Amino acid sequence: MSSTVPAYPALNLLIGEEAIGASGRDTIDVLDPATGEVIAALPKATTADLDAALEAAARGFKQWRATSADQREAVLRKGAALIRERAKDIGAAITREQGKPLKEAVGETIYCAMLLEFYAGECKRLYGKTLVRPDGQRVEVRHEPVGPVAGFSAWNFPALNVIRKVGGPLAAGCSVIVKPSEETPAGGLGIVQALRDAGVPADVCQAVFGVPDDISRHLLASPVIRKLTFTGSTAVGKHLAKLAAENLQRATLELGGHGPVLVFNDADIDKALDTMAGNKFRNAGQVCVSPTRFLVEEDVFERFRDGFVERAKAVKVGNGFDGDTVMGPMASQRGPDGIQTKLADALDKGAKLGAGGNRIGNQGYFHEPTVLSEVPLDATIMNEEPFGPVAMINPMKGEEAMIEEANRLPYGLAAYAWTQDAKRRMRLTSEIEAGMIAINGGTVSAVDAPFGGVKWSGYGLEDGAEGVTACMVSKTIHEAA
């Protein structure tokens, strides 16, 4: 079944009151990952544009921090309503630029509205406290917005990554300059435009594009910016953390993971297979919390591996606009190229190929859902995030070895465990080093719960009340009796 491909929106820099198009400017090509064709020209911000954005952000911060919590809440709720109203169009733009199936792209956009609704409610829950001493002395603890925020986000969730960059700061009373990914600009622009249309002042929420390293260096070098927030690879996260250290800017870093999945012999294996295979191939595996290293007790290993292979082979791969597509193309040529290099290395070192293993066709960036088993620990793919549609399934002996393997890597974002044993559940949740753990399920994210990692998966939190307090600083006022 195939559907028509809707028009891709015009792309602008959103700086102060201005929407600056591509005409007469240096541009970056945006590609359709299903075909490899150029679909739009994205304007690049000049140094003067970035300076204008910084000046606007400084003005915007003064205005927004003085706006009442009630008003901020009302505007953010209106923004969420507009995002819901526009979800079909924003979703279509995401599918066009990033490749994921339209249903997933629209779902991602609706989730942005849900997160913004939660953040809107938080505006009124930013309580301080007062300590009153017996002699009448008072100590007041106030929470204030940290200041203008610079956000940089990745291409795997063009809209969700952007709302995570702007929603917390806006609820806290900060202004924000966001740079969505140049590879997938329209999803993020759809979010920023909806916020501006809802009444977030233009100086308070801006979007810029360009050469990523030039933009982040320029913005983070400015004393106007008080906080960095980034979603992307650990390597770039470390680089940005060093830049932020120069000005002691606070930072939230949501980086890579290498999700371990511990499957015990007492688990509901069919449910584990259905849930985890669905999760693995969602967004072609390009998800920071994707389940990746499957550590399966040896007496259920063959059943689990065979069940996973069967499900991988059944995944319908195609253009995200085709109604029956379950998995779209990878987002860029780097996707299938990187997977092919890692697969060759793993197979060379003795891994077994259960399903997939190849690119699909010679147009766009499609790759087969792939299952490897008995993968040696020195294979690159067991150490570096595949960020693609590959599951590695290894037989394991006992809980202790499984926990040790889960914690072997420097990453600690999401982990998954399948067991019916309540005591084991307690041990796993205390011993596994991860920011989020799913037990007997696949969900590790909710609008009202913090999202973030430990170790090389980053620091700072998004979502939940923590996503707002991460954008605030405390001030303590001691008042004599």
In the complex, the residues that contact ligand NAD under the rule CB under 6 A are: 152, 154-156, 181-182, 212-213, 216, 231-233, 236, 239-240, 254-256, 288, 385, 387
Residues in Cβ contact with 386 at an 8 Å cutoff, skipping those fewer than 6 apart: 285, 292, 338, 339, 342
Name the residue nearer to ligand NAD (CB basis): 307 or 328: 328
- Does residue 288 carry a catalytic annotation? yes
Backbone φ, ψ for residue 266 (5° rounding) = -95, 5
Tokens of 197: 């249309």
Compute CA 243 distance to the chain's CA centroid, rounded to the nearest angstrom.
21
In the complex, least distance from residue 311 CB atom to ligand NAD, rounded to whole angstroms? 23
Tokens of 53: 């954005």
Q: At what angle do helices 398-406 and 422-431 cross, to 10 degrees?
A: 30
Strand partners, 179: 152
Residue type, 139: V
- Closest to 459 measured CA to CA, from 260, 259, 288, 251: 251
Tokens of 241: 């953390």
Name the residue nearer to ligand NAD (CB basis): 52 or 236: 236
Name the residue nearer to ligand NAD (CB basis): 109 or 156: 156
Catalytic residue among 254, 297, 368, 433: 254
One-character DSSP codes across 215-281: HHHHHHTSTT--EEEEES-HHHHHHHHHHHHHTT-EEEEE----EEEEE-TTS-HHHHHHHHHHHHH
**Whole-angstrom Cα distance, residue 52 to residue 83?**
27
In the complex, least distance from residue 147 CB atom to ligand NAD, rounded to whole angstroms? 19
Residue type, 248: L
Name the residue nearer to ligand NAD (CB basis): 82 or 375: 375
Total length of the chain: 481
For 283, which DSSP code?
G
Contact assessment for residue 311 and residue 475, using Cβ atoms and an 8 Å cutoff:
no
Which stretch of DSSP H or E encloses residue 80? Answer: helix 69-85
**CB neighbour class for 135 (10 Å; exposed up to 12, middle 13-18, buried from 19):** exposed
Catalytic residue among 182, 288, 399, 433: 288
In the complex, least distance from residue 464 CB atom to ligand NAD, rounded to whole angstroms? 18
In the complex, least distance from residue 254 CB atom to ligand NAD, rounded to whole angstroms? 5
In the complex, least distance from residue 85 CB atom to ligand NAD, rounded to whole angstroms? 27
- Does residue 174 carry a catalytic annotation? no
Residues in Cβ contact with 135 at an 8 Å cutoff, skipping those fewer than 6 apart: 481
In the complex, least distance from residue 411 CB atom to ligand NAD, rounded to whole angstroms? 9
Name the residue nearer to ligand NAD (CB basis): 233 or 340: 233
Only one residue has tokens 């292979």, namely 309
**Whole-angstrom Cα distance, residue 26 to residue 10?**
15
In the complex, least distance from residue 163 CB atom to ligand NAD, rounded to whole angstroms? 14
Residues in Cβ contact with 195 at an 8 Å cutoff, skipping those fewer than 6 apart: 76, 79, 166, 170, 205
Name the residue nearer to ligand NAD (CB basis): 192 or 267: 192
Name the residue nearer to ligand NAD (CB basis): 64 or 456: 456
Name the residue nearer to ligand NAD (CB basis): 224 or 472: 224
Catalytic residues: 254, 288
